[in-house]
């Protein structure tokens, strides 16, 4: 009996639709090679364009589709020059995280070739860790507050709850256990200054007791900014608060080639959204200059999360195809010093993907 996965596709704004279209193309290409599953792809308009058209950046119909789906693929949303009346950027992806309770922002960081990192003496596979960002509260909890610009001060609230902390820490330990390897989880906090971080650390330590086979450690966020550059090979899974994770994930992307190499999945108990970590980059939109690798790797994360043997086989084939193409440093888009377009690099990944799915492996 065929299992049908309902995948909502939200192209969004800027380069979002064009990178998303290329990943959809790869999904459609692998479909005939996967036994007993099929993908029902359900596109919806969201983001700035939809806001300008209808006044709603995330229409109810799109949200209900996301709620009913097996997973959501998202390109990128928001444009810096289009804002709500309160001055904030339009960011329906944050609304999705909160309304769907997507508490675990999972951001894998992997180096595919020595030429892609500014760090010395690191080659393919030497940098391989996952940053897990709690995505429903932290300092982002106060994002709806409106500043009185005539007042003498403005404040935001940082919220750390037991429920959110327990579930994101547990997700991180389970991920470390599944990854094997170092089997280590590093809590990134600021417990030497903030009482909320003392509380977060206490909950982390409680959860760690349930995973005696996984090493647990604490690292201050400022120290981690240094260690990520000096010794990224020492880390396996990191878990942190929302704002810390937002900042450190960009730094992490920078050591493996940039935001175009940084996939992500926002994971909840009953829903998940997969998207590249980069923004909408309106300055290059529509020119086939965008790097689609982060989108393709996010798609592989989605396939793995669907937790079906054939979907997982598709995920492994897609990751292997990306690694195969990137093993040649001449095969890069402009953001990484190369000359390939969004479509051209996907063409090469598509050819390798066919070989992976047919069991022929690399010809690089």
Q: Are residues 92 and 5 in the same domain?
A: yes
Query: Domain end: 233, 267, 301, which one?
Result: 267
In a domain, 278, yes or no: no
Q: Give the pLDDT confidence score for residue 23 in this predicted structure.
A: 98
Closest CA to 257 of 281, 235, 277, 234: 277
Q: Are residues 290 and 171 in the same domain?
A: no
DSSP string, 9-50: EEEESTTHHHHHHHHHHHHHHHGGGSTTEEEEEEEE--SHHH
Q: Are residues 92 and 162 in the same domain?
A: no
Distance CA 82, CA 90 (A): 7
3-state SS, residue 8 = strand
Q: Are residues 256 and 300 in the same domain?
A: no
CATH of the domain at 350: 3.40.718.10
In a domain, 256, yes or no: yes
Residue 104 near residue 168, CB atoms below 8 Å: yes
Q: Are residues 213 and 74 in the same domain?
A: no
Q: How many CB atoms lie within 10 A of CB 67?
A: 14
In a domain, 327, yes or no: yes
Q: Give the pLDDT confidence score for residue 19 in this predicted structure.
A: 97
In a domain, 277, yes or no: no
Query: How far does CA 361 lie from the centroid of its chain?
Result: 27
Distance CA 269, CA 290 (A): 32
Q: Are residues 114 and 96 in the same domain?
A: no
Tell me the pTM.
0.93
In a domain, 151, yes or no: no
Q: Are residues 296 and 261 in the same domain?
A: no
Distance CA 196, CA 159 (A): 7
In a domain, 280, yes or no: no
In a domain, 272, yes or no: no
Q: Are residues 172 and 303 in the same domain?
A: no
Domain of 241 in residue numbering reads as 104-141+157-267
Query: Domain end: 215, 232, 267, which one?
Result: 267
Q: Are residues 251 and 335 in the same domain?
A: no
Number of domains in the chain: 2
Return per-residue pLDDT of the chain as tens, 364 residues: 899 999 999 999 999 999 999 999 999 999 999 999 999 999 999 998 898 889 899 999 999 999 999 999 999 988 888 787 777 777 888 889 889 999 999 999 999 999 999 999 999 999 999 999 999 999 988 777 888 889 999 888 999 999 999 999 999 999 999 998 899 999 999 999 999 999 999 999 999 999 999 999 999 999 999 999 999 999 999 999 999 999 999 999 999 999 999 999 999 999 999 999 999 999 999 999 999 999 999 999 999 999 999 999 999 999 999 999 999 999 999 999 999 999 999 999 999 999 999 874 444 4
Beta strand pairing call for 237-240 and 215-220: unpaired
Q: Are residues 87 and 131 in the same domain?
A: no
In a domain, 118, yes or no: yes
Q: Are residues 187 and 243 in the same domain?
A: yes
Q: Are residues 81 and 114 in the same domain?
A: no
Query: Domain end: 267, 301, 319, which one?
Result: 267
């Amino acid at each position: 009996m065929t299992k049908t996965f309902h995948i909502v596709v939200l192209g969004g704004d800027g380069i979002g639709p064009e990178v998303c279209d290329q990943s959809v193309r790869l999904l459609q290409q692998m479909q005939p090679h996967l036994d007993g599953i099929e993908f029902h792809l359900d596109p919806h308009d969201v983001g700035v364009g939809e806001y300008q058209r209808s006044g709603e950046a995330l229409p109810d119909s799109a949200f209900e589709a996301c709620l009913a789906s097996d997973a959501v693929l998202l390109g990128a949303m928001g444009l810096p020059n289009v804002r709500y009346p309160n001055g904030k950027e339009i960011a329906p992806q944050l609304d999705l995280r909160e309304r769907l309770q997507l508490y675990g922002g999972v951001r894998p960081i992997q180096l595919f070739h020595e030429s892609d990192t500014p760090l010395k003496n690191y080659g393919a596979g030497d940098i391989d860790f996952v940053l897990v960002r709690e995505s429903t509260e932290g300092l982002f909890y106060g994002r709806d507050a409106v500043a009185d610009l005539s007042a003498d001060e403005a404040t935001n609230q940082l919220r750390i709850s037991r429920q959110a902390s327990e579930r994101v820490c547990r997700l991180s330990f389970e991920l470390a256990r599944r990854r094997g390897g170092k089997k280590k989880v590093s809590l990134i906090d600021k417990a030497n200054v903030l009482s909320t971080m003392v509380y977060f650390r206490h909950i982390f330590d409680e959860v760690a007791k349930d995973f005696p086979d996984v090493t647990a450690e604490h690292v201050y966020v400022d120290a981690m900014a240094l260690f990520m550059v000096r010794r990224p090979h020492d880390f396996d899974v990191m878990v942190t608060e929302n704002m810390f994770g937002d900042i450190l994930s960009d730094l992490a992307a920078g050591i493996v080639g940039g935001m175009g190499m940084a996939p992500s999945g926002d994971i909840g108990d009953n829903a998940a959204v997969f998207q590249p970590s980069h923004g909408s980059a309106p300055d290059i939109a529509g020119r086939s200059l965008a790097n689609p690798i982060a989108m393709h790797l996010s798609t592989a994360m989605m396939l793995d999360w669907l937790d079906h043997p054939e979907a997982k086989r598709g995920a492994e084939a897609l990751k292997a195809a990306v690694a195969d193409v990137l093993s040649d440093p001449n095969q890069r888009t402009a953001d990484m010093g190369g000359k390939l377009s969004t479509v051209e690099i996907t063409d090469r990944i598509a050819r390798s993907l066919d070989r992976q799915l047919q069991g022929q492996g690399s010809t690089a």
